[in-house]
Amino acid sequence: MQKLIRRRQLSATAPQPAERLADAGIHPLLARVYSARGIDSSAQLDLGLARLLPPGELLHADAAATLLADALDTDQRIVVVGDFDADGATSTTLVVSALRAFGARHVDYLVPNRFEYGYGLTPEIVALAARDNPDLIITVDNGISSLEGVAAASALGITTLITDHHLAGRELPQAAVIVNPNQPGCAFPSKALAGVGVIFYIMLALRAELRERGWFAQRAEVNLAQYLDLVALGTVADVVPLDRNNRILVAEGLRRIRAGHCRPGILALLEVASRRCATVVASDLGFVVAPRINAAGRLEDMSIGIECLLSEDMDSARTQASRLHQLNQDRRVIEQDMQDEALQILEKLALAEEGSAPVAMTLYQSGWHQGVIGILASRIKDRLHRPTIAFADGDAGELKGSARSIPGIHIRDILDAVATRHPGLVTKFGGHAMAAGLTLPRDGYETFAAAFVEEVERHAQDVQLQAVIESDGELSADEFQLELATELRFAGPWGQHFPEPIFDGRFTIVSQRLVGEKHLKLVLTPVGGDCLLDAIAFNIDPEFWPNSGVTEVELAYRLDVNEFRGQRSVQLMVEHLVAC
């Protein structure tokens, strides 16, 4: 699909903020970039931990701290129930590690196998957890919709602490305590905390409660900063908006990783992906580390990823990281096969990229892997710029669906509306604005597909249905500098709602060649300029590129740094290219 390149508009008060930032010593280009992202002054760029929102503002964090402190006091048995993605894995690792560091002697974890038990604290998971006779179940990154699971735990005399960040439904579970910035009545200023951020805040509150009780009089106080590597990884992996509070958490976590002060599991995962921890940025966590952890939950069992993160020595961590790396390789092969089949379905529907796609897409193929449909939905959503749900066979005549959306279409609200208009059609669902999961009877697929399109059409009147690349403008010839590229790389952390700078412009092709079957390596010079620049475009159409008939292109690109055999140089990372 052809994408529209649109240059970002500065705020109504601009250029004053950009000028103020430049006057404070920030490079004029970076000042412009920051200003376009709502930064008004250099003070807003202070991402020190002292600027973190206090735990006392998070509803029921104090009650959770009291509950946990009582559990430590009375030596209770605790089971942590996590989720099967990277946010869930980091959340589980953090709470298990921190509670053990605080002195808990009986802490274990349980992550539902997505193929056997599905998502969240279900009655089946409670029954499984009950084998260890826990006094307390803590959910991390799930539980806000687990009404039946909490009821089952209560019936067995097990106390539940729900910690989550997903949107609440019409009814809350009857847990002892619920901590979720998105639950009704919570005035916590940052609604964007990931699951790992929520549990980190609870650990901060717990430490404060233990201080009050004199808990550390005869034992060392726990330095919770040691867990910020996990917080950074889980926050970036879950693609939550990087508001200032999340940027503080991610920036501090990255700082520790770059200094080598992080757990062996993260070091091993960076190592197996040939990344140096000293130069790690947020995108390395999101596109290198997280997929390897997620592969465990997609293909086998997330406990592999958690055990990697829990490893206390490099030998054990490397063994687990190697296994995760292989699972990720396997996932890529499965994903590519599924993507090829999905594209064949689209072609049969006369939905080639040049064609006119419907306002929403549903895809199903018998035999698709349940653990990979989320990635497939994301790929098709990116290709067509339409809300997309991919389905795979579940158990007992059910279909499992994974949904991905585009800006302006709140996918969880869409599913809620479909479920309301068609009672019984959707067995269960949950998620947030951009991603969700659902289950429905297999014989209800066609009805659901039509209802989904109909509901999206109701909400899509003012939604941009052409993919848009937001550009920070054109670079001048003297801005293609290694020093500036390095400064941009580390000026984030960049991520959701605080995107890495993208620039656009026209370039003359000096040379072009294919590398790795479907990546285009280019040497370019800016139109009207004379400097030579290396560029690479990933996953291009090999039927069109390389193309000796094309001598000029329009690009949207990131200014980045390439390191090869100890040499560093400017490289353009191409996000979109069009032959001129």
What are residue 511's DSSP bridge partners?
Answer: 523
CATH annotation of 55-323? 3.90.1640.30
User: Domain 469-579 is of which CATH architecture?
Assistant: Beta Barrel (2.40)
| Residue 314: per-residue pLDDT | 96
DSSP strand E in 146-233: where?
159-163, 177-179
As given in the structure block, the two tokens for residue 335 are 């994903």
Q: Percent of the chain having pLDDT more than 90?
A: 78
| Residue 167: per-residue pLDDT | 85
Query: Is the pLDDT score of 572 beyond 80?
Result: yes
**CA 467, CA 5: separation in Å to the nearest integer?**
9
| Residue 567: per-residue pLDDT | 86
CATH class of 349-459: alpha beta
Q: What is the pLDDT of residues 453-511, one digit of tens each?
A: 999 999 888 888 888 899 999 999 899 999 999 999 999 999 999 999 999 999 999 99
Half-sphere exposure of 343 (CA within 13 A, CB side): 11
Q: What is the pLDDT of residues 123-156, one digit of tens each?
A: 999 999 999 999 999 999 999 999 999 999 999 9
Q: Quick one: which H or E segment has residue 79?
A: strand 78-81
Query: Is the pLDDT score of 228 beyond 60?
Result: yes
Beta-carbon neighbour count of residue 30 at 10 Å?
Answer: 20
As given in the structure block, the two tokens for residue 221 are 């106080």
Query: Is the pLDDT score of 196 beyond 90?
Result: yes
| pLDDT band per the 50, 70, 90 thresholds, residue 535 | very high
Q: Quick one: which H or E segment has residue 486?
A: helix 482-489
Which residue from 420, 418, 391, 389 is spatially nearest to 406, judged by alpha carbons?
389
| Residue 528: per-residue pLDDT | 83
Rounded alpha-carbon distances, angstroms, from residue 260 to 51, 257, 279, 564: 24, 5, 11, 22
The residue ranges of every structural domain in the chain are 55-323, 349-459, 469-579
Give burial (CB, 10 Å; 0-12/13-18/19+) of 571.
Answer: buried
**CA 57, CA 185: separation in Å to the nearest integer?**
11
| pLDDT band per the 50, 70, 90 thresholds, residue 397 | confident
| Residue 43: per-residue pLDDT | 92
What are residue 523's DSSP bridge partners?
Answer: 511, 534
| pLDDT band per the 50, 70, 90 thresholds, residue 114 | low
Q: What is the pLDDT of residues 364-390, one digit of tens each?
A: 999 999 999 999 999 999 988 999 999
pTM higher than 0.85: yes
Q: Which of residues 29 and 567 earns the better pLDDT score?
A: 29
| pLDDT band per the 50, 70, 90 thresholds, residue 353 | very low
**CA 457, CA 464: separation in Å to the nearest integer?**
12
Which region, left, alpha or beta, applies to residue 60 given φ > 0 means left and ψ of -120 to 50 means alpha? left
- Beta carbons within 8 Å of 152's beta carbon, 6+ residues apart: 123, 126, 127
| Cα 162 to the center of its chain, rounded Å | 21
- Beta carbons within 8 Å of 290's beta carbon, 6+ residues apart: 86, 233, 236, 237
**CA 101, CA 161: separation in Å to the nearest integer?**
19
Which residue from 367, 395, 364, 366 is spatially nearest to 377, judged by alpha carbons?
364
Rounded to 10°, the helix 228-237/244-258 angle is 120
As given in the structure block, the two tokens for residue 74 are 């009375």
Rounded alpha-carbon distances, angstroms, from residue 401 to 146, 373, 427: 19, 7, 11
**CA 422, CA 440: separation in Å to the nearest integer?**
12
Mean pLDDT of 196-204: 98
**CA 289, CA 276: separation in Å to the nearest integer?**
12
**CA 409, CA 415: separation in Å to the nearest integer?**
11
What are residue 163's DSSP bridge partners?
Answer: 140, 179
SS (H, E, C) 526-542: ECCCCCCEEEEECCCCC
